[in-house]
Amino acid sequence: MNEEKKPDLMKMPESEEGKKKTKTMDRTQLRKRMLFIMGIIVGILIIILVVLIIIQLVSHQTLSYEELETKMKNAAISYYKVQKDLLPKEENETVTVEASTLHASEYMKSLDEYLPKGISCKGEVTVQKVNNRYVYTPYLDCGKNYQTKELYKAVIDQGVVTSGYGLYQIGEEYVYRGEEVNNYVTFADTTWRIVKITSNQQVLMALADEKLMPIMEWDNRYNTQETSKTGINTYHVSRVKEALDLYTKEATDDTVTFKEADLDKMATFPLCVGARNEDQAVNDNSQECALLEENQVIGLLTVSDYLNASADGNCHATLDRACQNYNYLKLSQSFWLATPDSKNTKDVYHVNYAGYVKATEASDSHHVRPVVQLSHTVMIQSGNGTEEKPFLLK
């Protein structure tokens, strides 16, 4: 008898339900693979995008306006290291190099490559010889977006007045007058008051910090005409000039200390040291400037400078007591002026404690109140000239 063959379970046909499960598993695995592949593709695209962004940032590095000014200045310094023969030769002489020249000479990129799209600027760097050093000043003109502004322009832009307190135009100069005027400047780590903008756009400033004004004799030499040790009222040989000359060389904690960056901002100027009489009522410095001490970097106020700061209509002559009124230059201490009294060889003018001008022997002792002139190229960083927000310089 033939034995009945048993079915081979390993070769049994797959049921419909099994086929469905297999198809479902295949689709799930396929989907996973597709998602995995898509994830890889998306990751690659993100990496490519990041690389493109980095390349774009590197190729178009946007700078702030202040950073761009620094970029131009450094490029000009490198340019003139090679082109030394183009540097200014004389004191206070100025030369200019355009940003386009610095770009063409490969010291920097074109300005557009540093700026956001849609912003266009012009730029240049001036180089001035001051105190036998070269001062580099970048100028950037981006229209309404940004403009480098000099201190003297910021002062004039405040507006000129014809009465009351404020900035007056007197001849070719702009002079502050009154008791409360916005003429404060932070310079050499201390506070100064702007006295005037000169005819060549330099900024004359007087020290405001009384703690940094030493007390000394204007001069203490033996005066042969007076036959006594009353001092000689000639500024060129005075002790006060000797002391001021040391300010930029051997200043101590009791005086203003000028760093190299401060000296770069200071311009040389002719200090008016001519004598005037006690009845003189012309205050345009014509008397004082009849005698000049050339190429000074620091000095003292003249009588005319002090009288012009008063907004009192009764302040006219040298010794008028009304000149103490409405005068921002008045201090709680007495201080020397640069102006000798023309009646003799021993007397010099000073501003006394009350705030009006007096003449005393040069051998008397009063505070020394330095004045300096800032170059017309000095730039403003911030501030509006008020005591709370003084002008800050770049």
Q: Is residue 346 within 8 Å of 226, Cβ to Cβ? A: yes
- Looking at the fold, whether 259 and 307 belong to one and the same domain comes out as yes
Q: Please name which of 306, 305, 265 lies closest in space to residue 392, comparing C-alpha atoms.
A: 265
- Looking at the fold, whether 157 and 143 belong to one and the same domain comes out as no
User: Which residue is it, tokens 């390993």?
Assistant: 10
- Looking at the fold, whether 245 and 368 belong to one and the same domain comes out as yes
DSSP assignment of 182-235, as one string?
--EEEETTEEEEEEEE-TTS-EEEEE--GGG--EEES----BTTTTBS-----G
- Looking at the fold, whether 261 and 332 belong to one and the same domain comes out as yes
Boundaries of domain holding 73: 65-148
What total of structural domains would you count in the chain?
Answer: 2
Cα–Cα dist 234/230, whole Å: 12
The reply to whether 389 falls in a domain is no
The reply to whether 251 falls in a domain is yes
The reply to whether 27 falls in a domain is no
User: Going by C-beta distance under 8 Å and a sequence separation of 6 or more, which residues neighbour residue 97?
Assistant: 76, 79, 80, 86, 124, 125, 127
The reply to whether 44 falls in a domain is no
Q: For the chain, give the longest Cα–Cα distance.
A: 167
Domain boundary among 148, 172, 198: 148
Q: Is the pTM of this model over 0.85?
A: no
User: Going by C-beta distance under 8 Å and a sequence separation of 6 or more, which residues neighbour residue 94?
Assistant: 88, 126, 127, 128, 129, 377
Cα–Cα dist 130/265, whole Å: 8
The reply to whether 115 falls in a domain is yes
How many other CB atoms are there within 10 angstroms of residue 302's CB atom? Answer: 25
- Looking at the fold, whether 158 and 210 belong to one and the same domain comes out as yes
Q: Is residue 338 within 8 Å of 214, Cβ to Cβ? A: no
Please give the pLDDT value at position 245.
92
Domain boundary among 148, 164, 188: 148
The reply to whether 209 falls in a domain is yes
Q: How many residues does the chain have?
A: 394
Please give the pLDDT value at position 86.
95
- Looking at the fold, whether 134 and 161 belong to one and the same domain comes out as no
- Looking at the fold, whether 162 and 137 belong to one and the same domain comes out as no
Please give the pLDDT value at position 131.
75
Q: What is the DSSP letter of 84?
A: G
Domain boundary among 148, 181, 209: 148
Please give the pLDDT value at position 1.
47
- Looking at the fold, whether 302 and 203 belong to one and the same domain comes out as yes
Per-residue pLDDT of the chain (394 residues; tens, 9 = 90+): 445 555 554 555 556 665 565 666 667 777 777 777 887 888 888 888 877 666 555 555 688 898 999 999 999 999 999 999 999 999 888 999 999 999 999 999 999 999 988 899 999 999 988 878 898 999 999 999 999 999 999 999 999 999 999 999 999 999 999 999 999 999 999 999 999 999 999 999 999 999 999 999 999 999 999 999 999 999 999 999 999 999 888 766 778 889 988 998 999 999 999 999 999 999 999 999 999 999 999 999 999 999 999 999 999 999 999 999 999 999 999 999 999 999 999 999 999 999 999 999 999 999 999 999 999 989 999 999 999 999 999 8
The reply to whether 19 falls in a domain is no
- Looking at the fold, whether 185 and 270 belong to one and the same domain comes out as yes
Tell me which H or E stretch contains 382.
strand 380-382
Cα–Cα dist 243/311, whole Å: 32
Please give the pLDDT value at position 35.
76
User: Going by C-beta distance under 8 Å and a sequence separation of 6 or more, which residues neighbour residue 167?
Assistant: 155, 156, 158, 159, 160, 161, 174, 175, 176, 177, 181, 183
∠ CA 196-201-205, nearest 5°, is 35
